Amino acid sequence: MAKIHELDDLDRQILSILMTDAKMAYTDIAKQLQVSGGTVHVRMKKLEEVGIVKGARLEVDEAKLGYDIISFIGIFLEKSSLYEDVIRQINQIPEVVNAYYTTGNYSIFTKIICKDTDDLRKLLSEKIQAISGIQRTETLIALEERIDRPISLDVKNTQDR
């Protein structure tokens, strides 16, 4: 479930560009990388086929939509065997945007985006704490998002012009 396919430098360059701007036209990328538009198309098709490219998401300013609170909630389970069940229930909560199975302090670690502190309070007391199998939670509130970017692929030749 994590097979590494052979990618050449062109693949990585195309990915690098689209990872920060998925809407850029293939013809523009082609110009930038000095290849034909057809080539970019073929590469992307291959990358989609092997599952490296899973799709594209619009980046929105959540705060401008009224979602002001980003928080991380660490969840301790009563028994680790409850993991699947708890994840299933957490999945029902729309405000949860990420959930990870983790080592260390917590069993499950989640990222949550909600409208205000009242929303968060209700979410914790009425939704999260209500899930059976959860022992206790720890909440971390983010005041400011300072870095948000994709991973940077290292590309050998950046001698494009």
Partner DNA sequence: GTTGAAAAATTCCGCCG
Partner DNA sequence: CGGCGGAATTTTTCAAC
Site string for its own copies, 48-87 (x = CB under 8 A): --xxxxxxxxxxxxxxxxxxx-x-x-x------------x
Contact of residue 161 among its own copies, DNA, none (CB under 5-8 Å per partner type)? none
Tokens read off for 151: 């991973």
Answer yes or no whether residue 130 interacts with its own copies by CB under 8 A. Answer: no
Question: Tokens 């699947």 map to which residue?
Answer: 84
Helix (H/G/I), strand (E/B), else coil: 132: coil
Tokens read off for 69: 């609170």
Residues from 4 through 43 that contact DNA (CB under 7 A): 8, 10, 25-28, 34-39, 41-43
Smallest distance from the beta carbon of 11 to DNA, in angstroms?
8
Quote the CA–CA distance of 37 and 47 in Å, as a whole number.
16
Question: Tokens 């992307």 map to which residue?
Answer: 44
Residues from 43 through 72 that contact DNA (CB under 7 A): 43, 45
Tokens read off for 91: 């999945």
Q: Are 128 and 137 in contact (CB under 8 A)?
A: yes
Contact of residue 130 among its own copies, DNA, none (CB under 5-8 Å per partner type)? none
DSSP state of 23: T
Residues engaged in binding its own copies (CB under 8 A): 1-5, 7, 15, 18-23, 50-68, 70, 72, 74, 87, 90-91, 94-106, 109-110, 113, 139-153
